């Protein structure tokens, strides 16, 4: 089918590329001209395992193209996906101005029946507002349907998540777009849940908030494990082997971050409360999660006695492993806080260094080789769980450090191994 995606970022670019790979003809639109030129030149502005060769292949096969013109995309596709940002506003509610703007641009470009699909994460009842906007700004008499099709891809495994989704969620207000939506996703051979617009929009916020709740719960259990000399990884294994609980998302660490969970939890709280539903449970989740970095810093502060002029080596800046995304990264927050307290930081990240640079004060050094963070360091912190950090020469790292202290915020390393190497090793809930 002929499709277009408006907003070619982590969500839009990956979605468009995977739809092209599935055999569709896809136009990816972006209002950032520079980004469009980069993409046309085969330069991918984000790191996502497997994405680069998929983009190249589908551009060569002429199934994937890029433009800054929404009008061109609308004229040349049957189905138009909206994948522009829905960032949080000051009060935590969702800024829908990009979605509204794109809905208007699509309306003004309409010349025949089209299906407009909202892929961005939006508050329930946004689909109705998108339809209203298109009716208001579109040509009289031109028919269209609005569909909600939320995305569940995780950064760092987005291509895999998209190509083998657990389910496709499609919210419709009438039967008419159902056949087209089934045809789009037929190559993915995944279960499709056809429901109404509002339920589809709510599934996304409810799912993300539940995952954030699950992570917060295991971080709470980790605190109890620490106080009772239990091991949270063992407790998580014992809990997670119950099919009703499941092993995923029981990894204790520094709390959830990233461009989705914080904003989706905050949005869901406001949506519920605006609808008159008390959401104290999720407010408590927000509060607990926000307090985790400070608890981690307190452990480090106690060990160092004072932070001033201490040399700190930090491994990891991205919000999680296998991505270059540093948006709402707890690793960035921790580095920034320690620098503010006078520590001298040397940081490394396999992919996120460049994007982290603009978020960190100039006093923080970003090095190209992981072990260089250890030079003369009083303490070494693991802030992002990149698997390659497990393979470092920890003996050598110990010899580079001034004092062999490790604070492993992601339980990446093996406690017995690190202690046998002579490190004073602290982790989370173990
Ligand atoms: C974002 C949110 O993170 C996600 O929750 C939401 O569901 C979709 O938008 P993401 O792809 O991570 O997803 O955003 P980002 O990487 O910032 O990409 C958005 C792209 O849209 C950017 O390339 C931006 O230039 C483009 N854009 C933005 C438009 O093309 N038009 C606009 O009006 C605004
Ligand atoms: C999330 C959802 O998983 C995805 O379905 C949705 O489409 C977008 O939001 P993402 O934010 O890319 O995906 O990453 P995810 O792997 O969910 O991690 C989110 C945060 O939780 C990260 O900060 C991560 O470090 C943290 N996390 C995740 C934990 O602390 N423990 C875990 O067990 C899992």
Span 390-420, pLDDT tens digits: 999 999 999 999 999 999 999 999 999 999 9
Q: Which of 18, 28, 225, 260 is catalytic?
A: 260
DSSP state for residue 45 in the 8-state scheme: S
Give the residue whose CA is nearest to atom 21 of ligand 1.
7
What tens digit of pLDDT does each residue of 172-183 get?
A: 999 999 999 999
Confidence of residue 350 (pLDDT cuts 50, 70, 90): very high
Burial 79-94 (b: 16+ CB within 10 A, else e): bbbbbbbbebeeeeeb
| Residues of each domain in the chain carrying CATH 3.40.50.720 | 2-190, 287-426
Pocket test for ligand 1, best of 44, 82, 84 (most atoms within 8 A of CB): 84
Give the residue whose CA is nearest to atom 27 of ligand 1.
7
Q: Which residues line ligand 2 (CB under 6 A)?
A: 151-155, 208, 211, 215, 249-251, 253, 256-258, 260-261, 319-320
Ligand nearest to the CA of 30: 1
What tens digit of pLDDT does each residue of 243-268 get?
A: 999 999 999 999 999 999 999 999 99
What is the number of the ligand 2 atom nearest to the C-alpha of 325? 12
pLDDT at residue 251, rounded to an integer: 98
Contact 325, 259 (CB under 8 A): yes
Does 233 sit in the ligand 1 pocket, CB within 6 Å?
no
Comparing C-alpha atoms, which of 302, 296, 290 is closest to residue 383? Answer: 296
What is the number of the ligand 2 atom nearest to the C-alpha of 11? 7
Give the residue whose CA is nearest to atom 2 of ligand 1.
85
For residue 276, report the distance from its CA to the centre of ligand 1, in Å. Answer: 30
Backbone angles phi, psi at 39, to 5 degrees: -65, -40
For residue 417, report the distance from its CA to the centre of ligand 1, in Å. Answer: 43
Does 11 sit in the ligand 1 pocket, CB within 6 Å?
yes
pLDDT for 341 beyond 90: yes
Instruction: Show Cβ contacts of residue 386 under 8 Å, excluding neighbours closer than 6 positions.
Output: 315, 316, 318, 321, 322, 349, 350, 412
What tens digit of pLDDT does each residue of 98-124 get?
A: 999 999 999 999 999 999 999 999 999
Ligand nearest to the CA of 155: 2
For residue 68, report the distance from its CA to the centre of ligand 2, in Å. Answer: 30
Q: Checking DSSP bridges between strand 25-29 and strand 2-6, what pairing results, if any?
A: parallel
For residue 99, report the distance from its CA to the centre of ligand 1, in Å. Answer: 10
pLDDT for 129 beyond 90: yes
Give the residue whose CA is nearest to atom 5 of ligand 2.
152
Does 204 sit in the ligand 1 pocket, CB within 6 Å?
no
pLDDT for 188 beyond 90: yes
Ligand nearest to the CA of 81: 1
Tell me the pLDDT of the chain averaged across its residues.
97
For residue 191, report the distance from its CA to the centre of ligand 2, in Å. Answer: 22
What is the number of the ligand 1 atom nearest to the C-alpha of 98? 33
Give the residue whose CA is nearest to atom 13 of ligand 2.
154
Q: How far apart, in whole angstroms, are the C-alpha atoms of residue 113 and residue 181?
A: 15
Mean pLDDT confidence for 10-29: 97
Q: How far is CA 63 from the centre of its chain?
A: 27
- Mark whether 225 is an active-site residue: no
Ligand nearest to the CA of 412: 2
Backbone angles phi, psi at 186, to 5 degrees: -55, -45
Does 13 sit in the ligand 1 pocket, CB within 6 Å?
no
Residue 159: half-sphere exposure toward Cβ, Cα within 13 Å: 17
Mean pLDDT confidence for 363-383: 98
Residue that wins the pLDDT comparison between 90 and 31: 31
pLDDT for 93 beyond 90: no
For residue 83, report the distance from its CA to the centre of ligand 1, in Å. Answer: 6
Q: How far apart, in whole angstroms, are the C-alpha atoms of residue 312 and residue 412?
A: 18
Positive or negative, the Cα torsion across 206, 102, 22, 75?
A: positive
Burial class (CB in 10 A: 0-12, 13-18, 19+), 275: exposed
Mean pLDDT confidence for 48-61: 96
Q: How far is CA 305 from CA 222, 254, 302, 401, 404, in A?
A: 24, 21, 5, 17, 15
pLDDT at residue 253, rounded to an integer: 98
pLDDT at residue 91, rounded to an integer: 86
For residue 245, report the distance from its CA to the centre of ligand 2, in Å. Answer: 17
Task: For the domain covering 2-190, report its CATH number.
Answer: 3.40.50.720
pLDDT at residue 268, rounded to an integer: 97
Q: Which secondary structure element, helix H or strand E, spans residue 345, and what is its range?
A: strand 344-348
Give the residue whose CA is nearest to atom 28 of ligand 2.
249
Q: Which CATH number fits domain 287-426: 3.30.750.24, 3.40.50.720, 3.30.70.270, 2.70.70.10?
A: 3.40.50.720
pLDDT at residue 92, rounded to an integer: 85
Mean pLDDT confidence for 377-384: 98
């Amino acid at each position: 089918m002929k499709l277009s995606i408006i907003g070619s970022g982590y969500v839009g670019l990956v979605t468009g590329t995977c739809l092209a790979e599935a055999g569709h003809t896809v136009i990816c639109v972006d209002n950032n001209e520079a980004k469009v030129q980069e993409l046309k030149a085969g330069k991918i502005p984000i790191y996502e395992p497997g994405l680069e060769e998929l983009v190249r292949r589908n551009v060569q096969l002429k199934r994937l193209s890029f433009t800054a013109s929404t009008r061109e995309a609308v004229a040349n596709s049957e189905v138009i996906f909206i994948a522009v940002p829905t960032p949080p506003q000051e009060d935590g509610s969702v800024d829908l101005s990009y979605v509204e703007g794109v809905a208007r641009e699509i309306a003004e470009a309409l010349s025949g029946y089209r299906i407009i699909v909202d892929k961005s994460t939006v508050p329930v009842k946004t689909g109705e507002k998108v339809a209203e906007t298109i009716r208001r700004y579109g040509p009289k008499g031109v028919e269209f349907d609005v569909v909600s099709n939320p995305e569940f891809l995780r950064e760092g495994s987005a291509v895999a998540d998209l190509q083998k989704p657990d389910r496709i969620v499609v919210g419709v207000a009438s039967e008419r777009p159902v056949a087209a939506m089934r045809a789009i996703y037929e190559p993915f051979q995944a279960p499709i849940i056809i429901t109404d617009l509002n339920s589809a929009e709510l599934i996304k916020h409810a799912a993300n908030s539940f995952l954030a709740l699950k992570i917060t719960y295991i971080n709470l259990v980790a605190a109890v494990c620490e106080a009772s000399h239990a091991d949270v990884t063992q407790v998580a294994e014992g809990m997670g082997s119950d099919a009703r609980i499941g092993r995923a998302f029981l990894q204790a660490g520094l709390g959830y971050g990233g461009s989705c969970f914080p904003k989706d939890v905050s949005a869901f709280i406001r949506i519920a409360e605006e609808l008159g539903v008390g959401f104290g449970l999720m407010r408590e989740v927000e509060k607990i999660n926000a307090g985790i970095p400070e608890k981690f810093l307190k452990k480090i502060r106690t060990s160092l006695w004072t932070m001033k002029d201490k040399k700190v080596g930090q491994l990891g800046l991205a919000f999680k492993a296998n991505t270059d995304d540093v948006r709402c990264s707890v690793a960035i927050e921790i580095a920034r806080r320690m620098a503010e307290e006078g520590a001298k930081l040397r940081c490394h990240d396999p992919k996120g260094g460049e994007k982290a640079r603009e978020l960190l004060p100039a006093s923080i050094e970003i090095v190209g080789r992981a072990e260089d963070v250890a030079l003369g360091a009083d303490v070494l912190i693991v802030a992002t769980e990149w698997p390659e950090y497990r393979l470092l020469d920890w003996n050598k790292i110990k010899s580079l450090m001034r004092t062999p202290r490790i604070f492993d915020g992601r339980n990446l390393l093996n406690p017995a191994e690190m202690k046998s190497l002579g490190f004073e090793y602290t982790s989370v809930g173990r």
